[in-house]
Amino acid sequence: MPARKQSSGTVPPGPEHTRTGLSAETLRQAFLDNLFYIQGRFPEIATDDDRYQALSYTVRDRLLHRWVRTIQAYKERDPRTVCYLSAEYLPGPHLANNLLSLGIVDATREALRGLGLDLDAILDHEEEPGLGNGGLGRLAACFMDSLATLEIPAIGYGIRYEYGIFDQKIQDGWQVETSDTWLHYGNPWEVRRPGICYDVRIGGRTEHVTDEHGRLRVHWRHADLFRGVAYDTPVAGYGVETVNLLRLWRAEAAEDFDFTVFNQGDYVGAVMRKVRSETISKVLYPNDEADSGKRLRLLQQYFFVSCSLQDMLRIFATTGRPLAEFHAKFAAQLNDTHPTIAVAELMRLLVDEHGLDWDEAWQATRHTFAYTNHTLLPEALEKWPLPLFADVLPRHLEIVYEINRRFLDDMRLRYPDDPARIARLSIIDETPPKYVRMAHLASVGGHAINGVAALHTRLLGTTVLKDFHDIWPDKFQNKTNGVTPRRFLMLANPGLADLLTEALGDGWTRDLERLRGLEGLADDPAFQDRWRQAKLIRKAALAERLRAGQGNAIDPASLFDIQAKRIHEYKRQHLNLLHVVTLYNRLKHAPDADVPARTVLFGGKAAPGYAMAKLIIKLINAVAEVVNRDPDMRDRLKVVFVPDYNVKVAQSVYPAADLSEQISTAGMEASGTGNMKFSLNGALTIGTLDGANVEIREAVGPDNFFLFGLDADEAVRTRAAGYRPYALYERDPELRAAVDLIAGGHFAHGDAGLFRPLVDHLLGRDDYLLLADYRAYVDCQDRVADAWRDPARWTRMAILNVARMGRFSSDRAIAEYCRDIWNVAPARVDG
Ligand code: T68
């Protein structure tokens, strides 16, 4: 091994010398040491958790070297740094990923084998941090992985929720939520930094005074004070030395404030206040609920943004540069509108606390921020009722008014005779009780606005943000989402990954476009055989998991048809069910029909307050109950609900899929990223022209994608033309039979009332156009079955899908953000 170059004498020696070496023997010794000195156990009396903790600390120790070197390199070189501001992160289990990044999976396996232990059993023990709801939080985690792997200086800022997304249990077919306990056994991956903490004030009132130099000053006489403490988690790049930082804030009581209460003799009151302070980072809000009006949610957003910006200012101060150059040091990305209060908070910090004049501060602010939109759904566009906003953030409201006044003055010059447009553009929605529109604040307060797939970006500019597109067309950009091939291929599907490496070398792991080399093998019978074997192994593994978990017996040879994502009407899990019921009807009427065996799997959580989504889960389980025990089905149709879908479960689901269901109403799914993960694992997609499906289909070729349904423009026209779902129901006998069976209580032990709300909605309004797309969907599913009957054809299509998915790596997405939005370059960390 070549001698390691060291940039400075303060860095601990390289791993080859020390107790943090990477050989199996050193790993084994370190594991035993940690088991003893951290967990206080001998191997003979260690529990699963002891072993998990000991191994995690062993791995963490090895990351610390790189982490410290990375920080030191950044300090020396002072590069422009990406700050990803996100209220959610869904990183998934850390241990396996870190073993992979460090390149010590095999050595660790060997080290443990020597002790009679199984690495996979230990990995399985990890409780993942569920600090997000779904795609948005997972995207943030993929981006952190790619930033580190591309050696980009970056910090991910967010909230250390004590309770993340709820755990889902299924009882009597219904979703039941239980509280997440990810911190119960402690978290070996985080480092608490009591010294990195900031005060966050809220409430009260402002005073405008003239100081001794005759300058107007604003004092914020706050009513309440909290403190945010940093918890740092290392994010290791794959195959590089870079280890970046995920810095999550935990809310605590500000001690000095408690002290005043304490001195008044109110000890219990002081402790109660401490408890109340901690509620800010106590729990993640589930999405899809009406958040507007939820004071705690606004507090969470402001809390993490204020801590993060104060932290950035502290780091900036160490560079010695003048504050007006803040934006030269940091590129801050607003992951949806949740962190958008940052625009007003940075203005407040620069103007009120650091004495910059408004124009200088505004220049720095606008050049710092950029905004990613993740949804067109009107109900998901955040707006805060003005009275609430004024109560929590009185100073910020003044700042928002000032930003808005200057912005609208400009707009009135531009559109002197168009007051309606001015009202539409305004950051304040004047409809009583009046609202602050966060997407408008983000659009005005940053230098770039991006959607997450080409179609989504186009629709953003022609619908919800059209007025902004009219004034600043150049501010709009598309950045199609991507996913990390490390977690979702190398970790999730080691058999396929090995096959790819054997065929192509290992360059694809960091340059996913190299998968294109597979095209030449798509028709090779021997390669196809090995491909099918690799798939079958993952299907058998999932079948075994489901058997052990819920006693479901499914056949790995059947077509695994999977829809796994949050449950939402626009994602149309119930359209999938209408197809299942149609297949059931067909088999009931012709029990000897020659149809290929299919296992239809669903996974996903419904927001606890979203009754229709919960009813869809109940319907899935109700249909499963009837179908799975009907002898007429003769194992040709099975329906399974996979409970508690999370990143860990997802890693066992994507590789096992033959068919990926991406069937949202066109124009509603911003991008989707599950669509990418399935296809990258060799599943074929049945899908609409929605979100990134459009680009996936272009990339893999229309022959290798099962397309059906209305496109986004047709969906709009269908609704505008007075859509009547009932007429479609009357006209299509198969559709009518499926709906009638559900409505009549066939899946509800005869209770015709249970699914009535769902059926009534479909026949009455059908906002998501299920009935309009039903026939096309069912016919397309018949084409899927035909293709499945021909294994050589199916396998060829699957290979071509994987070969052409290279552009959906999050490495490509991040490289585009770096080039077009952030203007940042890699800063290599030497080993
Ligand atoms: C998803 N959004 C999009 N939101 O639905 C999906 N919302 O199309 C896209 O691929 C993905 O973002 C990444 O761009 C979400 O996941 C949320 O989870 C969410 C959370 C809180 C409030 C609102």
HEC readout, 742-809:
HHCCCCCCCCCCCCHHHHHHHHHCCCCCHHHHHHHHHHHHHHHHHHHCCHHHHHHHHHHHHHCCHHHE
Q: Is the pLDDT of residue 11 over 50?
A: no
Q: Please check whether residue 679 is in contact with residue 696, taking contact to mean a CB–CB distance below 8 angstroms.
A: yes
pLDDT in tens, 162-213: 999 999 999 999 999 999 989 999 999 999 999 999 999 999 999 999 988 8
**Sign, CA torsion 415/389/88/326:** positive
For ligand 1, which residues put their CB under 6 angstroms from it? 88, 133-136, 139, 287, 374-375, 380, 452, 481, 669-673, 691
Q: Mean pLDDT lowest for which of 47-56, 103-112, 260-269?
A: 260-269
HEC-encoded secondary structure of 619-661: HHHHHHHHHHCCHHHCCCEEEEEECCCCHHHHHHHHHHCCEEE
Residue 402 neighbours by CB under 8 Å, 6+ apart: 358
Which residue among 88, 131, 136, 695 has the greatest number of ligand 1 atoms within 8 angstroms of its CB, and so is best to mutate? Answer: 136
CB atoms within 10 A of CB 57: 20
Report the alpha-carbon distance of residue 830 to residue 6 in Å, rounded.
8
Q: Is the pLDDT of residue 14 over 50?
A: no
pLDDT band, residue 18 (cuts 50/70/90): low
Q: Mean pLDDT lowest for which of 81-85, 289-293, 504-508, 691-695?
A: 289-293
pLDDT in tens, 290-327: 666 699 999 999 999 999 999 999 999 999 999 999 99
Span from the CA of 723 to the centroid of ligand 1 (angstroms): 28
R_g of the chain computed on alpha carbons: 28
Span from the CA of 371 to the centroid of ligand 1 (angstroms): 14
Atom of ligand 1 nearest to the CA of 291: 22
Q: Residue 226: which H helix or E strand, with range?
A: strand 224-236
Mean pLDDT over 488-502 rounds to 98
Q: Are strands 684-687 and 706-707 parallel, antiparallel or unpaired?
A: parallel
Sheet holding 637-642, edge to edge: 637-642, 598-603, 559-564, 659-662, 684-687, 706-707
Report the alpha-carbon distance of residue 220 to residue 201 in Å, rounded.
9
pLDDT of res. 6: 37
Q: Please check whether residue 699 is in contact with residue 654, taking contact to mean a CB–CB distance below 8 angstroms.
A: no
CA distances from 286 to 277, 289, 794 (A): 21, 7, 39
pLDDT of res. 290: 61
pLDDT of res. 7: 38
Span from the CA of 380 to the centroid of ligand 1 (angstroms): 10
| Residue owning the nearest CA to atom 23 of ligand 1 | 287
Mean pLDDT over 590-616 rounds to 96
Span from the CA of 539 to the centroid of ligand 1 (angstroms): 28
Q: Any bridge partners for residue 559, and if so which? A: 598
Span from the CA of 733 to the centroid of ligand 1 (angstroms): 37
Atom of ligand 1 nearest to the CA of 456: 8
Report the alpha-carbon distance of residue 311 to residue 492 in Å, rounded.
35
| Residue owning the nearest CA to atom 10 of ligand 1 | 672
Q: Give the tokens for residue 821.
A: 């939005």
| Residue owning the nearest CA to atom 17 of ligand 1 | 136
Report the alpha-carbon distance of residue 526 to residue 535 in Å, rounded.
14
Q: Give the tokens for residue 613.
A: 């989504």
What's phi and psi for 598, nearest 5 deg? Answer: -130, 135
Q: Give the tokens for residue 788.
A: 């499945």
| Residue owning the nearest CA to atom 22 of ligand 1 | 287
Q: Closest Cα to residue 522, out of 201, 796, 166?
A: 796
Q: Closest Cα to residue 617, out of 566, 545, 553, 552?
A: 566
pLDDT of res. 256: 58
pLDDT of res. 265: 77
Atom of ligand 1 nearest to the CA of 88: 20
Q: Which residue has the tokens 């001698």?
A: 3
pLDDT in tens, 379-413: 888 999 999 999 999 999 999 999 999 999 999 99
Q: Is the pLDDT of residue 15 over 80?
A: no
Q: Are strands 435-437 and 428-429 parallel, antiparallel or unpaired?
A: antiparallel
Atom of ligand 1 nearest to the CA of 691: 8
Q: Is the pLDDT of residue 17 over 60?
A: no
Q: Closest Cα to residue 133, out of 567, 657, 437?
A: 567
| Residue owning the nearest CA to atom 2 of ligand 1 | 136
Mean pLDDT over 680-701 rounds to 98
**Side-chain-facing half-sphere of 286: CA atoms under 13 Å:** 19
pLDDT of res. 2: 38
Span from the CA of 670 to the centroid of ligand 1 (angstroms): 8
pLDDT of res. 292: 61
Report the alpha-carbon distance of residue 597 to residue 600 in Å, rounded.
10
Span from the CA of 424 to the centroid of ligand 1 (angstroms): 25
Q: Is the pLDDT of residue 13 over 50?
A: no
End-to-end CA distance of the chain: 12
pLDDT of res. 254: 83
CA distances from 474 to 271, 456, 458, 636, 670 (A): 52, 16, 13, 54, 21
| Residue owning the nearest CA to atom 21 of ligand 1 | 287
pLDDT of res. 258: 56
CA distances from 505 to 422, 509, 514, 517 (A): 57, 9, 9, 10
Residues in the chain: 831
Per the rule left: phi > 0, alpha: psi between -120 and 50, beta: everything else, 587 is alpha
Q: Closest Cα to residue 197, out of 351, 317, 314, 88?
A: 314
| Residue owning the nearest CA to atom 4 of ligand 1 | 136
Which residue among 139, 340, 374, 478 has the greatest number of ligand 1 atoms within 8 angstroms of its CB, and so is best to mutate? Answer: 374
Which residue among 89, 300, 340, 375 has the greatest number of ligand 1 atoms within 8 angstroms of its CB, and so is best to mutate? Answer: 375
CB atoms within 10 A of CB 442: 28
Residue 474 neighbours by CB under 8 Å, 6+ apart: none
Q: Is the pLDDT of residue 761 over 70?
A: yes
Catalytic residues: 374, 565-566, 571, 673, 677
Report the alpha-carbon distance of residue 454 to residue 447 in Å, rounded.
19
pLDDT above 90 coverage of the chain, percent: 91
**Side-chain-facing half-sphere of 639: CA atoms under 13 Å:** 26
pLDDT band, residue 329 (cuts 50/70/90): very high
Q: Mean pLDDT lowest for which of 7-11, 39-43, 667-671?
A: 7-11
pLDDT band, residue 257 (cuts 50/70/90): low
pLDDT band, residue 214 (cuts 50/70/90): confident
| Residue owning the nearest CA to atom 20 of ligand 1 | 287
Report the alpha-carbon distance of residue 112 to residue 806 in Å, rounded.
35
Mean pLDDT over 535-541 rounds to 98
Across the chain, what does the average pLDDT equal?
95
The pTM is what?
0.97
pLDDT of res. 291: 60
Report the alpha-carbon distance of residue 141 to residue 335 in Å, rounded.
12
ipTM topping 0.95: yes
Q: Are strands 598-603 and 559-564 parallel, antiparallel or unpaired?
A: parallel
- The more confident residue out of 21 and 463 is 463
CA distances from 698 to 481, 665, 805 (A): 15, 19, 10
pLDDT of res. 268: 82
Taking the CA atoms of residue 309, residue 310, residue 312 and residue 314 in that order, the dihedral angle to the nearest 10 degrees is 170
Mean pLDDT over 693-719 rounds to 98
Walk me through the domains of the chain, giving residue ranges and CATH numbers. 78-92+128-480+816-822 (3.40.50.2000), 495-808 (3.40.50.2000)
Report the alpha-carbon distance of residue 623 to residue 616 in Å, rounded.
10
CA distances from 502 to 484, 519, 527 (A): 20, 15, 11
- The more confident residue out of 515 and 214 is 515
DSSP label at residue 206: E
Mean pLDDT over 721-733 rounds to 98
**DSSP helix/strand/coil, 411:** helix
pLDDT in tens, 578-598: 999 999 999 999 999 999 999
Report the alpha-carbon distance of residue 399 to residue 389 in Å, rounded.
12
pLDDT band, residue 215 (cuts 50/70/90): confident
Span from the CA of 648 to the centroid of ligand 1 (angstroms): 19
